[in-house]
Amino acid sequence: QVQLVESGGGLVQAGGSLRLSCTASGSILAINVMGWYRQAPGNQRELVATITSGGSINYGNSVKGRFAISRDNAKKTVYLQMNDLKPEDTAIYYCNVDRLQSAWGLRSDLWGQGMQVTVSS
């Protein structure tokens, strides 16, 4: 069984930092794009950042210059370093894999369970 396990969310003051992690577990052979999305109350889910297996990165406009995404392919883990956090960064953050190859076949559009990030002013 393939799943995404997230960690690192919590409460932080404005200007502070948090580091999120997401590990894909199961008999996984290859992962394409890994990324982070977020959803604030009353808003649609939005892109935070994505990273391909080759290291190409894309950021949402609101986090450019403050957040950094990285991944460890051997550990099947993606990280999100969030710096200079603002109250408007408060949201539920979700890990996503667009496509992966497991021992049981191809899986698409996998999501983690989501975790709360709250930035106080």
What is the tens place of the pLDDT at every residue in 1-58?
899 999 999 999 999 999 999 999 999 999 999 999 999 999 999 999 999 999 999 9
Q: Specify whether the CB–CB gap between 35 and 45 falls below 8 A.
A: no
Report CA dihedral (2, 98, 88, 7) to the nearest 10 degrees. 20
Per-residue pLDDT tens for 83-118?
999 999 999 999 999 999 999 999 999 999 999 999
Q: Whole-number mean pLDDT of the chain? A: 97
Beta bridge partners of 5: 23
Query: Two tokens at 76?
Result: 């099947």
What letter represents residue 52's amino acid? T
DSSP symbol at 60 = -
